[in-house]
Every structure is written in C-alpha cells, then in structure tokens.
Amino acid sequence: MTRFEPNLRIPGPVGLPPSVRAAGGRQMINHRSPEFAAMLVRVLDRMRPFFGTDNDIAILSCSGSGGMEAVVVNTISPGDRVLVLSIGSFGDRFAEVATAFGANVTKLDFEWGTAADPAVVRAHLAANPGYRAVLITHNETSTGVINPLAELAAVCREVQPEALILVDGISSIGAVPFEMDAWGVDVAVTASQKAWMSAPGLAMVAASRRAWHAMETTTGPRFYFDLRAHRKAHATGETPWTPAVAAFFQVDEGLRLLEQETTAGVFARHLACAAATRAAIAELGFPMLAAPAHASKTVTAVLIPDGLDWKAFNAAVTRRGIVLAGGQGKLTGKIFRVGHLGSATVEEILGVAAAFEGALIELGRPVTPGAAVAAAQRAALASAAAPVAEEK
Ligand SMILES: *Cc1c(COP(=O)(O)O)cnc(C)c1O
C-alpha cells in the first residue's frame, strides 16, 4: 500500500487536491497583518454564496463539534426549552451539546435511515409552544440521509416563528445547495475537512440578523467560542485568538478551486458522485440504508448483507487502496459508509466500484467483472445530462 495514495472515501476528512496540500505547507505569516486580513476577507466573501447568506460568518479554530458548541452557547441560555430533530448520531450529538450547557432538551427521534417528517414536526410544535430554538441536522453523516431542510424550516417559522432555527450543515454546506436566508435558517455551521477540501481545523458559523441580536441576551458563559468576539475581530480582518493559519491557507485555496468550478458545477459533481455510488452498490446487490428520496449527496450508507464477512471485505477493499468508513453508534457493524464530498470525483467512485468488484470476486461471490463500474459510469453520465434540481 505504499505505491499509491489511498482513495480516502470517508465522509471527512476528505482527500486534499495537490494545490490545497501545498498551501498547508506554506511558511507561517503574522495573523495580525494585511496579508492575513486580505485572506480572511477573500475566504468570507467566497464562502457566503455556499451558505446562501448576506449575513456575517465567523471562522473558529476547532473541529465541527466546536462549531456546534459555538452555535449552542451563543444562542441558548441555561433553562431554555429547545427541540432537537434527530435522525442519527450527529443529531444526538447536537442534543448532547445543548444538554451539556443546561438547555431543557426535547429530542424528537426519527428512525435512523429516514428523514425528519415535516408533518410530525408541525404537530409537535403546535402541541408544544414556547421553544427557544429548533436544532436540525441538514445532512446526517452517520446514516447517509439528507433532511428536507427548506420544508422543516418553513414549518418552524410558521408554527413557532419566535424559535431560532439552528442547523448542523457540517457535511452539506459547500456540497449541495444551501439557502440560509431564503429558508429562514438562523445559524448554520460547517467545517473545513468536509466540502471545503481542507485539513480539519476550522469551523465556519453563519448567523442571521436576529440570531446576532439574540446573542446579546444569551446568559450562559462563553469565551473562546463567543461569536461576537469573532465578528468584531473579523470586521478588521482579524480573529480574536491565534487561528489555525495552515488550515486557513488550505480553505483559501479550496475556495479558489470551488469558485473556479462554480457553485452549479460543484453541486452537479456531488450529484453525479452520489448517483454513481448508489448505482454501483445497487448493481452489486447491497441494500442501502436511505430511501432514494432522502439519500445524501455527500455520503452513502450501505447495509452489510447477511453472509458477507465485513472484516474480510473491508480488508480486501483496503488492499485495493480504498478507505471506507464503518458505522457509528448503534449502526456499528451493520453498515459501512462511502464518502463522496469535497474533492470527490466520478473517476474516484469508479475506482471504488472496481475495488468492490475485485474484493467480492476474491471472496468468491458471483460478480460480473465491470458490471458495477458500468452501472456507476452510466448513472454519472445520466446525472450530468440532467438539469441540476434545486435541493429543498
Ligand atoms: C463531521 C460532522 C460533525 C463533527 O465534526 P467534527 O469535525 O468531527 O467535530 C458534526 N456533524 C456532522 C453532520 C458531521 O458530518
């Protein structure tokens, strides 16, 4: 396994394009300098279209979970009643963070592998008035499901207009359409190692006008993750504390590549990769966790078929240079996941299909050589030919 680089097919960190990798190796600069300030402005300006917002974004030096914590401590006070819509591990994590900071949390659980049902959410909100916030995972990375966020946000706005809508978009923003302002989302968070094709180290948090306003009256303690301090520093081209400068260099370069590709091109590539992945998996006869209507465009969760030795399969796939993700939480040992976000290309997915065929043939399963590759290629071509549908 030293002759080639791994095809890193986990849902973050993603593999780095060569120019992004090189950017991470640059000499340090003064983070209180015109050079850093120019980079910060460039990053914020190029990121805004992917959030679909005209509002201010704060860039924190931490992983995605740190960004989730920032969302919670800045908008929720101890004792506030909040509703968490959970469809998997990351929804549960959002609830854990809110609980850790003293929120009075109600968790509305939906079966893992399904999306949150707007009708159920509507009924719950109508029967339980007075929530300070509703916490929603846009793309549940643990199950490969994307929530109908526009619809869910519309229901919240209609039934409990006072409730802030706080969204974990860590594995969706930058990869699929996200229209924060149009959908009425109040706070949205993402992280550098997902769609932004960079190393882990930065979390980006965007907030609506009313969310920035709400932050002034939140009563819980906060310091490092105080978004007001970040916003104030960003206004003069700085960060409040020393930032992860190398990750900044990478996100700057990643955004340059994404901008070059255009948002429509980026979204279309993710659709093609997702379609190719699902087609290859289906051709091999593996069931998938998510129904097609709610299937994520950035990660596919595959049920391990009865009789398939997962360890032997994964070892055979790994020998072929493909790195897969296992299941999380209660899905451990039941599923594996194929990440296709950030730098992912259709050709990398065709490589996954080929490796799966080879691994299964090695394990003595009846597989037609080339069949999964062909199915994936056809699906990607069909996806590329179809107009990019607006994600809701
Ligand atoms: C990756 C991810 C996180 C966690 O981010 P870390 O960087 O691992 O802290 C949270 N939510 C979702 C949906 C994710 O995909």
- Please give the pLDDT value at position 275: 98
Question: Is residue 275 within 8 Å of 380, Cβ to Cβ?
Answer: yes
Cis status of the peptide bond prior to 13, with omega within 30 of 0: yes
Nearest to 313 by CA among 371, 283, 356, 279: 356
Q: Give the three-state DSSP class for 271.
A: helix
How close is the Cα of 113 to the center of ligand 1, in Å?
17
Q: Kindly report the CA angle at 220 between 219 and 223, in degrees rounded to 5? A: 115
Q: What is the pTM of this model?
A: 0.97
Topology alike, domains 7-14+262-385 and 18-259: no
* Tokens read off for 120: 């159920």
How close is the Cα of 170 to the center of ligand 1, in Å?
6
The string of pLDDT tens digits covering residues 235-293 is 999 999 999 999 999 999 999 999 999 999 999 999 999 999 999 999 999 999 999 99
Measure the CA–CA gap between 308 and 193, rounded to whole angstroms. Answer: 31
Does 283 contact ligand 1 (Cβ within 6 A)?
Answer: no
The string of pLDDT tens digits covering residues 208-235 is 999 999 999 999 999 999 999 999 999 9
Cis status of the peptide bond prior to 17, with omega within 30 of 0: no
Does 118 contact ligand 1 (Cβ within 6 A)?
Answer: no
- Please give the pLDDT value at position 3: 75
Does 165 have pLDDT greater than 50? yes
- Please give the pLDDT value at position 226: 98
Does 63 contact ligand 1 (Cβ within 6 A)?
Answer: yes
- Bigger pLDDT: 384 vs 312: 312
Measure the CA–CA gap between 275 and 272, rounded to whole angstroms. Answer: 5
SS3 sequence of 52-102: CCCCCEEEEECCHHHHHHHHHHHHCCCCCEEEEEECCHHHHHHHHHHHHCC
Instruction: Report the percent of the chain where pLDDT is more than 90.
Output: 95
Does 67 contact ligand 1 (Cβ within 6 A)?
Answer: no
Does 137 contact ligand 1 (Cβ within 6 A)?
Answer: yes
Class of domain 18-259: alpha beta
The protein residue whose alpha carbon is closest to atom 3 in ligand 1 is: 64
Identify the sign of the CA torsion 349, 351, 352, 356.
positive
Per-residue pLDDT band at 57 (split at 50, 70, 90): very high
Instruction: Report the percent of the chain where pLDDT is more than 70.
Output: 98
The string of pLDDT tens digits covering residues 101-149 is 999 999 999 999 999 999 999 999 999 999 999 999 999 999 999 999 9
* Tokens read off for 336: 């594996």
- Best mutation site among 86, 90, 299 for ligand 1, i.e. most ligand atoms within 8 A of its Cβ? 90
DSSP result, 154-170: HHHHHH-TTSEEEEE-T
Phi, psi of 345 (to 5 degrees): -120, 155
Does 188 contact ligand 1 (Cβ within 6 A)?
Answer: no
Does 12 contact ligand 1 (Cβ within 6 A)?
Answer: yes
* Tokens read off for 197: 């094709």
* Tokens read off for 73: 């401590």
Identify the sign of the CA torsion 203, 207, 213, 218.
negative
Per-residue pLDDT band at 387 (split at 50, 70, 90): low
Does 64 contact ligand 1 (Cβ within 6 A)?
Answer: yes
Please provide the CATH number assigned to the domain covering 7-14+262-385. Answer: 3.90.1150.10
- Please give the pLDDT value at position 4: 79
Does 141 contact ligand 1 (Cβ within 6 A)?
Answer: yes
Nearest to 115 by CA among 182, 172, 190: 172
Does 157 have pLDDT greater than 60? yes
Average pLDDT over the chain, rounded to an integer: 96
Nearest to 103 by CA among 62, 126, 131, 127: 131
How close is the Cα of 189 to the center of ligand 1, in Å?
10
- Best mutation site among 142, 143, 168, 341 for ligand 1, i.e. most ligand atoms within 8 A of its Cβ? 168
The string of pLDDT tens digits covering residues 326-373 is 999 899 999 999 999 999 999 999 999 999 999 999 999 999 999 999
* Tokens read off for 242: 């020393």
Does 388 have pLDDT greater than 80? no
- Bridge partners, 114 (sequence order): 112
Q: Give the three-state DSSP class for 120.
A: helix
Does 225 contact ligand 1 (Cβ within 6 A)?
Answer: no
Sequence ranges of the domains in the chain: 7-14+262-385, 18-259
- Please give the pLDDT value at position 2: 59
The protein residue whose alpha carbon is closest to atom 2 in ligand 1 is: 170
Dmax of the chain from CA atoms? 63
Does 391 have pLDDT greater than 50? no
- Bigger pLDDT: 156 vs 385: 156
- Please give the pLDDT value at position 392: 41
